[in-house]
């Protein structure tokens, strides 16, 4: 095998940007790249290891022997080691063997920029050329309109390893998902899919939230171009793709980023800021320029190379606060004496400004569980710059309310109405995510009280209330058909439940709610604005009834919603209406096709009788544990 030849993909300008933390396409330079040099095809390697004394590429091509292929350190103080190995191509297994200047420490690391990785538990990087021709030009050209904040977001959250498996409990492939999953999501009328992390990760029980291969789709389901095929298929069917992204922490696995070159290269050197006690993981050093460039380049990579339409940024709260999950004495205040991580906040703002300015029509979504202000406000207004934020408070309050027996709900009406006091402080997404159906919390269905009929009626009401509440919507897989058991990442969802009417009824209901949401602008045009919501009456706690209006830009298309949170039907229930005319029922969760009792409303005429502060009103029927929507 030919020795390493001196070669570089870096210009002086590239190096200046890298040192300044402003090079946001590092994936075009660092890592392994199959190129031609002087007419000879081979692989160029480049790795950042400033504390290294020597760096060798070891792999299946040299029997993992370090003496054969030493990289050359650049002269410019960048800490980058590089070189070209002729006749080395795609499919080659490799790692970097690093001798550190730190007391003779030796590390053997996977490539942080590898485009492909071995199937865990194997840990080598793979030289890869992802040759793929995209066919989603129509989607990409119109994405700005379909993916905007005033458009519907009905999101189906998916863990690929457990959505569906073979009869032998083996994984499906990306190519199989491109048929089965895409067809299902389209039939269910979801607008977007959110994939739990598909970047390479070593430990299955982490569900992908502890990454080692930041630039490689996991090999569990196939090769990188096959994941592109899946994204492409979704786009061709008009479905947006949201990727979970984890810049908050990374695992200590020996082949990963931790102690990379014998120094704290990627993680903060102070354990009070560089180690996460809950997750037993390492925290990025957000104040180091090259680390910021690594992370922003990674976000850019998935938006650029894999046509992602949005990134849902995981565990933002853990990044924002120095005392997150720490006791007194385990953290150090910032220069102003408070608990905000100023370097992380600066990084998040730069991240959002960068990706929004580089990609038209994308969104950044924060999974942020605290009351940190202006998460989804623009950076130039003092915000963090995200497009949306998960509404964790609404989710907790709503589930807390729904688990109560209906007889007690009249004492807890505030659990439902409180969200309206802050619903428009952020651009909120309403999530019933994977976190709500694990660790003994039970499935959504079995958090509902009552007999079997009431459980399903409660779940239908829960989803109806969710879709008519201001904000966008997310449902974790299985919830859409009333999965009975908690989510188990080691096996398929219980698809056989669809043989039973109540479960298939929930599925039909979610399918119709997705259609309702997309076909009525009143539910999405002003979903983040107080102008898009108005109470009719939030004070009827005695009957556990809520009535409200959803508004779009055209007042003629307003929707009027009534919810009954008890199993007692509310017949001839008078509801104030601000207009003259007829009301037509456009959705009823008690429909027989959903498993309901079939109580319906015909065409109703408003009468000149003052009610709820309006001069006109109408008598409606609100079915037991039901929600009715009128136009």
Question: Where does a domain end: 69, 91, 109?
Answer: 109
Is there a domain that residue 75 lies in? yes
Is there a domain that residue 17 lies in? yes
Question: Where does a domain end: 109, 138, 163?
Answer: 109
pLDDT > 70? residue 474 = yes
Q: pLDDT value at position 539?
A: 95
pLDDT > 60? residue 1 = no
Is there a domain that residue 414 lies in? no
Q: What is the rounded distance in angstroms from the CA atom of residue 152 to the CA atom of residue 626?
A: 23
SS3 9: coil
- Kindly name the residue from 111, 157, 267, 314 that is annotated as catalytic: 314
Question: Where does a domain end: 72, 88, 109?
Answer: 109
pLDDT > 60? residue 336 = yes
Q: Residue 270: which pLDDT band, with cuts at 50, 70 and 90?
A: very high
Q: What is the rounded distance in angstroms from the CA atom of residue 307 to the CA atom of residue 193?
A: 13
Stretch 453-475: mean pLDDT: 98
**This prediction's pTM:** 0.97
Q: What is the rounded distance in angstroms from the CA atom of residue 449 to the CA atom of residue 37?
A: 69
Contact 43, 92 (CB under 8 A): yes
pLDDT in tens, 276-286: 998 999 999 99
Stretch 483-504: mean pLDDT: 97
Q: Which residues contact 493 (CB under 8 A, 6 or more apart)?
A: 162, 163, 164, 477, 478, 483
Is there a domain that residue 502 lies in? no
Q: pLDDT value at position 547?
A: 98
pLDDT in tens, 63-82: 999 888 999 999 999 999 99
Is there a domain that residue 214 lies in? no
Q: Is 157 a catalytic residue?
A: no
Q: pLDDT value at position 468?
A: 98
CATH of the domain at 99: 2.60.40.10
Stretch 408-427: mean pLDDT: 96
Q: Which residues contact 249 (CB under 8 A, 6 or more apart)?
A: 210, 276, 279, 281, 282, 283, 284, 315, 318
Stretch 412-437: mean pLDDT: 96
CATH of the domain at 599: 2.60.40.1180
Q: pLDDT value at position 130?
A: 77
Contact 582, 605 (CB under 8 A): yes
Average pLDDT score over the chain: 96
Q: What is the rounded distance in angstroms from the CA atom of residue 501 to the CA atom of residue 540?
A: 33
Strand partners, 560: 549, 630
Q: Report the number of distinct structural domains present in the chain.
A: 2
pLDDT in tens, 296-328: 999 999 999 999 999 999 999 999 999 999 998
pLDDT in tens, 583-599: 999 999 999 999 999 99
Is there a domain that residue 558 lies in? yes
Strand partners, 573: 620
Q: Among 468, 494, 435, 510, which Cα is nearest to 630's?
A: 468
**What 8-state DSSP symbol labels residue 250?**
B
548 vs 304, 420, 551, 612, CA distance in Å?
42, 11, 10, 11
- Kindly name the residue from 157, 261, 267, 367 that is annotated as catalytic: 367
Q: pLDDT value at position 613?
A: 94
Stretch 573-582: mean pLDDT: 94
Is there a domain that residue 581 lies in? yes
**What 8-state DSSP symbol labels residue 118?**
P
Q: pLDDT value at position 481?
A: 98
Is there a domain that residue 363 lies in? no
Residue ranges making up the domain that contains 580 = 530-630
The length of the chain in residues reads: 631
Q: Residue 602: which pLDDT band, with cuts at 50, 70 and 90?
A: confident
339 vs 122, 277, 343, 366, 506, CA distance in Å?
40, 17, 12, 20, 44
Q: What is the rounded distance in angstroms from the CA atom of residue 468 to the CA atom of residue 567?
A: 20
Q: Residue 104: which pLDDT band, with cuts at 50, 70 and 90?
A: confident
**Residue 396 φ then ψ, to 5°:** -65, -45
Q: Is 187 a catalytic residue?
A: no
């Amino acid at each position: 095998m030919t020795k390493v030849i001196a070669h570089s993909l870096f210009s002086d300008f590239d190096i200046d940007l890298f040192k300044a933390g402003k090079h946001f396409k590092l994936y075009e330079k660092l890592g392994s790249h199959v190129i031609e040099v002087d007419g000879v095809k081979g692989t160029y390697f480049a790795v950042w290891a400033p504390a290294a004394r020597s760096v060798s590429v070891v792999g299946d091509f040299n029997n993992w022997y370090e003496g054969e292929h030493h990289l050359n350190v650049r002269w410019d103080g960048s800490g980058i080691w590089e070189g070209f190995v002729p006749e080395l191509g795609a499919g080659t297994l490799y790692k970097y063997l690093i001798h550190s200047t730190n007391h003779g420490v030796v590390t053997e690391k996977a490539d942080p920029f590898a485009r492909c990785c071995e199937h865990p538990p194997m840990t080598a990087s793979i030289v890869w050329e992802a040759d793929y021709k995209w066919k989603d030009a129509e989607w990409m050209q119109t994405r700005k309109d379909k993916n905007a904040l005033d458009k519907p977001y009905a999101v189906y959250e998916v863990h690929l390893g457990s959505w569906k498996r073979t009869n032998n409990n083996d994984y499906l492939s990306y190519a199989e998902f491109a048929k089965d999953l895409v067809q299902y999501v389209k039939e269910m009328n979801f607008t977007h899919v959110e994939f739990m992390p598909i970047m390479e990760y070593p430990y299955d029980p982490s569900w992908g939230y502890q990454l080692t291969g930041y630039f490689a789709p996991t090999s569990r389901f196939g090769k990188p171009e096959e994941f592109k095929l899946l994204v492409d298929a979704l786009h061709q069917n008009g479905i947006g793709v949201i990727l979970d992204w984890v810049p908050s922490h990374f695992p200590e696995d020996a082949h990963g980023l931790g102690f990379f070159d014998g120094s704290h290269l990627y993680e903060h050197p102070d354990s009070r800021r560089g180690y996460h006690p809950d997750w037993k993981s390492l925290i990025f050093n957000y104040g180091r320029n090259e680390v910021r460039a690594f992370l922003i380049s990674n976000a850019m990579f998935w938006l650029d190379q894999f046509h992602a339409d949005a990134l849902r940024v995981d565990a933002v709260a853990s990044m924002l606060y120095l005392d997150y999950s720490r006791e007194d004495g385990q953290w150090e205040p910032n220069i102003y004496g408070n608990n905000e991580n100023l370097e992380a906040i600066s990084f998040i703002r730069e991240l959002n400004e960068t990706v929004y300015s580089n990609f038209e029509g994308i969104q950044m979504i924060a999974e942020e569980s605290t009351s940190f202000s202006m998460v989804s406000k623009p950076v130039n207004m003092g915000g963090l710059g995200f497009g949306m934020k998960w509404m964790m408070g609404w989710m907790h309050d709503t589930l807390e309310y729904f688990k109560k027996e209906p007889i007690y709900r009249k004492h807890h009406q505030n659990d439902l109405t409180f969200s309206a006091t802050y619903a428009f402080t952020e651009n909120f997404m309403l999530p019933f995510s994977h976190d709500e159906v694990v660790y003994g919390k039970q499935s959504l269905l079995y958090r509902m009280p009552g007999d079997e009929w009431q459980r399903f009626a409660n779940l239908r009401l829960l989803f109806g209330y969710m879709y008519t509440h201001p904000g966008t919507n997310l449902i974790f897989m299985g919830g859409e058909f009333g999965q009975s058991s908690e989510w188990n990442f080691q096996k398929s969802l219980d698809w056989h439940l669809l043989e039973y009417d109540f479960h298939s009824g929930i599925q039909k209901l979610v399918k119709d709610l997705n259609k309702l949401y997309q076909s009525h602008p009143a539910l999405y045009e002003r979903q983040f604005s107080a102008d898009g919501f108005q109470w009719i009456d939030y004070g009827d706690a005695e009957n556990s009834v809520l009535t409200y209006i959803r508004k779009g830009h055209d007042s003629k298309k307003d929707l009027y919603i009534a919810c009954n949170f008890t199993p007692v039907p509310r017949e001839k229930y008078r509801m104030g209406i601000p207009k003259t005319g007829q009301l037509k029922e456009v959705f009823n969760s008690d429909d027989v096709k959903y498993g309901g009792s079939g109580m319906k409303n015909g065409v109703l005429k408003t009468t000149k009788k003052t009610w709820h502060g309006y001069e006109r009103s109408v008598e409606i029927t609100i079915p037991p544990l039901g929600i009715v929507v009128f136009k």
